[in-house]
Amino acid sequence: MKVLLLGSGAREHALARSLSLDPEVGELLALPGNPGIAEVARCVAGDPADVPAVVGVATTEGVDLVVVGPEGPLVAGVVDALTAAGIPCFGPTAAAARLEGSKSFAKEVMAAAGVPTAAAHVCTTQEQVRAALAATGAPYVVKEDGLAAGKGVVVTDDLDAALEHAAACLARSGGRVVVEDFLDGPEVSLFCLADGATVVPLAPAQDFKRVGDGDSGPNTGGMGAYTPLPWLDEQHPGLVQEVVGTVALPTVEEMARRGTPFTGVLYVGLALTSAGPRVVEFNARFGDPETQSVLARLRTPLAGILLAAAEGRLAELPPLDWSPESSVAVVVAAQGYPAAPRTGDEITGLDEAATVEGVHVLHAGTALRDGAVVSAGGRVLSVVSLGEGLSQARARAYGAVHRIHLAGSHVRGDIAQAAEQGEVVIPGPALPGHELLYSGKVRELYAPLDPTTGARDEGRLLLVASDRVSAYDHILSTPIPDKGAVLTQLSLWWFDQLADLAPHHVVSTAVPPEVAGRAVYVRRLRMLPVECVARAYLTGGGLAEYHADGTVSGLTLPPGLVDGSRLAEPVFTPSTKAPVGEHDQPLPFEGVVALVGPRLADRLRDLTVRILLRGNAIAAERGILIADTKVEFGIDPAQLGLGPDDDIDWAAVDPDRVDVVLADEVLTPDSSRFWRADAWAPGRPQVSYDKQVLRDWLTSPASGWDRGSDTPPPALPDDVVALTRSRYVEAYESLTGQPFRAG
């Protein structure tokens, strides 16, 4: 097979690389290509959007397939002309490419096909823009209605900035802007191959559009990407099939119905919102840089797939073969990119970078000058890795990046970092009358809204416990029924038992029916910046510290203690509050003093130890030992005469005059270790009431899961779910002496 590839970026270099590795491809041409592509293809000079020129090359060369990379040639009608000339072509016609070229057309097709997307208002005047912005409210999303390569979008809380961007868009030729609802939640790119009727999805990926770490700075053409998405497999394993069924196929069918069948890549940009997946945008081509990491994992020869799409034979294709490895693509950008990239600088270290295992380097904006590779664009290179799990893939990609030298160049250092650390969370379902403030791994925090004004209640929070469970830093795809209700009601019961020791934060259990039994309204406190841990028995992280140097949180313990040893009296072993996804670090008592002052530090130690003593006094009568526990405290800023956002000088707080309020969950199997008193024996792991059942199954050969790998844990079998649920319920019923009632 003889293949002609149009385009010259790193995406095209990735396509060229994969096409050249296809044994069916005898000859590969690229128009115009780049110095990297020239290593695997014969480059032909020319403009890929020059329709007669492209048809001329394809005809005289007698190619069997043309693959179109960028959007320019699509809009120019290259596919239409090649098809008319009888040359199979992978890419949509100009009419079908309008799905990318016109945001309003895409919205119209989505509406006709019933595809879930953000509500949108197409505006042609500034008055319409004003009305639309008033309707959606902040944050405002204003998109230019045309080809803007992802750069024509402004998302802001500032009404004036939104109006200004809209005015600028309207002033340009054919000025139309689209005002959309803001979509919360992580974004996913899903490339769907289409042949006019059939859809074959590729592996989902995530890209990074902002120039700086932590999504700071201006939008770019894309600074990096990775695949697969472990958080997606854990939190929404059926997403790809769902998107094919509810987005890609209905769109392809709608396009066929309109007489403009879609062939090529339907790039579906999605936001995974609390209300479900929503389309953010369609593109009519492979995305850059996601393509670089997606193709790195594709083992099925590429030319055969693209030819099948071009010839309407996708339905005959066997399932695609994917590497189980992870791939990370890091873009090396020129100094000044994206505002004013500097070009013409020499690039060295490319060969050294390519020697890093699993890495290949793709050219984007490069040129040859006197035999040297020099920068010739804003995005200069894509460094692409394969590795076992995201951590190895990241290490390899960045290891290679650091061998490359280009004066003034910059990369994002956090490509796939949040995913590697398990920090990407799909928000939970929205709750009417509430605004989601924070979605944790297993819980959500909402602010109640005033029913008439819609204003946030700054004094209260709704704390909702879900049935999700986490184990070994993964959120499991299988929920444990009633777990949220057990933990919520157990905390409520403990608050009563501990009322003489400390006030608690709960103000009401009259919660919305959607979260009945597993949510409480609480006073909105300022939380003290310390994880308050007390240990009555030695195990887990405390035991590890003790083994290392005989101390726990800086306290020296007697020698000879073993796993499960009972301590003479409970010790206070606080730790730092790490950001989500990172692990808490042990904090010596002096560290607590440094954070909150001596008076609060003493009070936290005193309260935490007394709570564990009281807990054990009560639990002992019910056959349970509480080995250790973690509690959290807060202070009501109103008691200090402060507003909700004022800074607090903790050291100035007098705990004899201000309530130190017990917050969050207390003495639950998720915040404590509950052991069976009758089975307790030091020197070995103890029999516990928590999710040990589930952990045991995950680490047993039966699960087939390798804890060390980066793959998400498998779904739990029914018996493991039932047994874990009954352990939670049993803990509740044994402790409280009351039957558990859900909701």
DSSP 640-660: GT--TTS---GGG--TTTS--
* Residue showing the smallest CB distance to ligand Q0Z in the complex: 440
Question: According to the binding rule CB under 6 A, does residue 425 interact with ligand Q0Z?
Answer: no
Number of residues that bind ligand Q0Z (CB under 6 A): 16
Distance between CA atoms of residues 218 and 221, nearest Å? 10
Task: Candidates 463, 469, 693, 721: give the one binding ligand Q0Z (CB under 6 A).
Answer: 463
Question: According to the binding rule CB under 6 A, does residue 440 interact with ligand Q0Z?
Answer: yes
Distance between CA atoms of residues 426 and 242, nearest Å? 16
Antiparallel, parallel or unpaired: β 42-43 and 27-32: parallel
Bridge partner list, 180? 120, 141
Question: According to the binding rule CB under 6 A, does residue 30 interact with ligand Q0Z?
Answer: no
Select the span of 437-445, 532-540, 559-567, 593-601 touching ligand Q0Z (CB under 6 A): 437-445
Question: According to the binding rule CB under 6 A, does residue 308 interact with ligand Q0Z?
Answer: no
Task: Candidates 114, 315, 438, 578: give the one binding ligand Q0Z (CB under 6 A).
Answer: 438
In the complex, least distance from residue 316 CB atom to ligand Q0Z, rounded to whole angstroms: 48
Select the span of 113-121, 212-220, 269-277, 517-525 touching ligand Q0Z (CB under 6 A): 517-525
Question: According to the binding rule CB under 6 A, does residue 503 interact with ligand Q0Z?
Answer: no
Residues 677-692 as b/e (b if ≥16 CB within 10 A, e otherwise) read beeeeeeeebebbbbb
Select the span of 186-194, 416-424, 523-531, 540-548 touching ligand Q0Z (CB under 6 A): 523-531
Q: Which of 222, 373, 333 is nearest to 286 (CA)?
A: 222
CB 420 within 8 A of CB 394: yes
The number of beta carbons lying within 10 Å of the beta carbon of residue 158 is: 12
**Coil, strand, or helix at residue 567?**
strand
Select the span of 51-59, 360-368, 519-527, 643-651 touching ligand Q0Z (CB under 6 A): 519-527
Question: According to the binding rule CB under 6 A, does residue 487 interact with ligand Q0Z?
Answer: no
Q: Where are the beta strands (DSSP E) in 2-62?
A: 2-7, 27-32, 42-43
Residue (334 or 522) nearer to ligand Q0Z, CB: 522
The number of beta carbons lying within 10 Å of the beta carbon of residue 571 is: 21
Question: According to the binding rule CB under 6 A, does residue 155 interact with ligand Q0Z?
Answer: no
Q: Which of 207, 230, 186 is nearest to 290 (CA)?
A: 207
Please list, in sequence order, all residues whose beta carbon lies within 8 angstroms of the beta carbon of residue 624, skipping any fewer than 6 positions away.
674, 675, 676, 677, 689, 731, 734, 735
Q: Where are the beta strands (DSSP E) in 340-473?
A: 347-348, 359-363, 366-369, 372-375, 379-387, 405-406, 434-439, 443-448, 460-465, 470-471
Residue (394 or 524) nearer to ligand Q0Z, CB: 524
Question: According to the binding rule CB under 6 A, does residue 635 interact with ligand Q0Z?
Answer: no
Residue (51 or 522) nearer to ligand Q0Z, CB: 522
Residue (164 or 435) nearer to ligand Q0Z, CB: 435
CB 503 within 8 A of CB 634: no
Instruction: Calculate the dihedral angle through the C-alpha atoms of 231, 233, 239, 240, rounding to the nearest 10 degrees.
Output: 110
Q: Which of 484, 496, 473 is nearest to 425 (CA)?
A: 473
Residue (271 or 515) nearer to ligand Q0Z, CB: 515
Question: According to the binding rule CB under 6 A, does residue 664 interact with ligand Q0Z?
Answer: yes
In the complex, least distance from residue 648 CB atom to ligand Q0Z, rounded to whole angstroms: 13
In the complex, least distance from residue 445 CB atom to ligand Q0Z, rounded to whole angstroms: 4
Residue (403 or 505) nearer to ligand Q0Z, CB: 505
Amino acid at 224: G
Question: According to the binding rule CB under 6 A, does residue 519 interact with ligand Q0Z?
Answer: no
Distance between CA atoms of residues 733 and 489, nearest Å? 11
Question: According to the binding rule CB under 6 A, does residue 180 interact with ligand Q0Z?
Answer: no
Binding mask 587-626 for ligand Q0Z (x = CB under 6 A): ----------------------------------------
Amino acid at 281: E
Task: Candidates 525, 534, 666, 698: give the one binding ligand Q0Z (CB under 6 A).
Answer: 525
Question: According to the binding rule CB under 6 A, does residue 461 interact with ligand Q0Z?
Answer: yes
In the complex, least distance from residue 463 CB atom to ligand Q0Z, rounded to whole angstroms: 5
Task: Candidates 232, 376, 522, 660: give the one binding ligand Q0Z (CB under 6 A).
Answer: 522
Region of 227 please: left (phi>0), alpha (psi -120 to 50) or beta. beta
In the complex, least distance from residue 152 CB atom to ligand Q0Z, rounded to whole angstroms: 35
Bridge partner list, 471? 474
Question: According to the binding rule CB under 6 A, does residue 302 interact with ligand Q0Z?
Answer: no
Task: Candidates 297, 523, 691, 725: give the one binding ligand Q0Z (CB under 6 A).
Answer: 523
Task: Candidates 420, 444, 628, 670: give the one binding ligand Q0Z (CB under 6 A).
Answer: 444
Binding mask 467-486 for ligand Q0Z (x = CB under 6 A): --------------------
The number of beta carbons lying within 10 Å of the beta carbon of residue 569 is: 10
Question: According to the binding rule CB under 6 A, does residue 634 interact with ligand Q0Z?
Answer: yes
Q: Which of 464, 631, 454 is nearest to 534 (CA)?
A: 631
Question: According to the binding rule CB under 6 A, does residue 445 interact with ligand Q0Z?
Answer: yes
Distance between CA atoms of residues 45 and 111, nearest Å? 42
Please, is 578 exposed, middle or buried when counting C-beta atoms within 10 Å of its C-beta (0-12, 13-18, 19+)?
exposed
DSSP 109-156: HHHHHT--B--EEEESSHHHHHHHHHHH-SSEEEEESS--TT-SEEEE
Question: According to the binding rule CB under 6 A, does residue 381 interact with ligand Q0Z?
Answer: no
Residue (1 or 445) nearer to ligand Q0Z, CB: 445
Question: According to the binding rule CB under 6 A, does residue 317 interact with ligand Q0Z?
Answer: no
Amino acid at 333: A
Question: According to the binding rule CB under 6 A, does residue 505 interact with ligand Q0Z?
Answer: yes
Distance between CA atoms of residues 90 and 306, nearest Å? 6
Select the span of 92-100, 191-199, 441-449, 696-704 touching ligand Q0Z (CB under 6 A): 441-449
Question: According to the binding rule CB under 6 A, does residue 663 interact with ligand Q0Z?
Answer: yes
Residue (309 or 663) nearer to ligand Q0Z, CB: 663
Residue (523 or 673) nearer to ligand Q0Z, CB: 523
Please, is 739 exposed, middle or buried when counting C-beta atoms within 10 Å of its C-beta (0-12, 13-18, 19+)?
exposed
Question: According to the binding rule CB under 6 A, does residue 249 interact with ligand Q0Z?
Answer: no
Question: According to the binding rule CB under 6 A, does residue 524 interact with ligand Q0Z?
Answer: yes
Residue (272 or 462) nearer to ligand Q0Z, CB: 462
Binding site residues, ligand Q0Z, CB under 6 A: 438, 440, 443-445, 461, 463, 505, 522-525, 527, 634, 663-664
